[in-house]
């Protein structure tokens, strides 16, 4: 997100729906979320087991394997992404 948008996003600031700042903020957050989902998809082993943590340097799974809430959080994120922007989500991360 451009620095000019971040500079205007302060705690308690009101964003008017449809305003340029609102659109820029939504677009920026959406791009960041899509990158996170892609990273998660690339970090998930072929067996589909999701881990509690991913090593930020190597991208390899670490910690507990097969955690239910990891799968639930991923599925909720995929659902919300599709609900909020169906056309943009068509090519985003999906369970293997």
pLDDT, tens digit (0-9, with 9 covering 90-100), for 24-74:
888 888 888 899 888 888 888 888 888 888 888 887 888 887 778 888 888
pTM above 0.75, yes or no: no
- Is position 76 within any domain? yes
- Burial grade of 58 (CB within 10 A; 0-12, 13-18, 19 or more): exposed
- Is position 38 within any domain? no
Torsion 68-38-79-24 (CA) sign: positive
The more confident residue out of 1 and 74 is: 74
- Percent of all residues in the chain with a pLDDT value above 90, rounded to a whole number: 1
Residue 55 half-sphere exposure toward CB, CA atoms < 13 A:
7
- Is position 84 within any domain? yes
- Is position 67 within any domain? yes
Quote the number of domains for the chain: 1
Query: What residues make up the domain containing 69?
Result: 49-91
- Is position 22 within any domain? no
- Is position 85 within any domain? yes
The stretch 65-92 carries a mean pLDDT of: 76
Backbone angles phi, psi at 68, to 5 degrees: -60, -40
């Amino acid at each position: 997100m451009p620095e000019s948008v971040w500079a205007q996003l302060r705690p308690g600031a009101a964003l008017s729906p449809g305003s340029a700042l609102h659109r820029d903020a939504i677009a920026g957050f959406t791009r960041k979320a899509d990158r996170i989902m892609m990273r998660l998809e690339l970090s998930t082993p072929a067996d589909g087991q999701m881990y509690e943590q991913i090593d930020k340097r190597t991208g390899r799974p670490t910690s507990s394997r097969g955690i239910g809430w990891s799968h639930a959080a991923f599925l909720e994120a995929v659902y919300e992404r599709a609900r909020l922007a169906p056309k943009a989500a068509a090519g985003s991360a999906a369970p293997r």
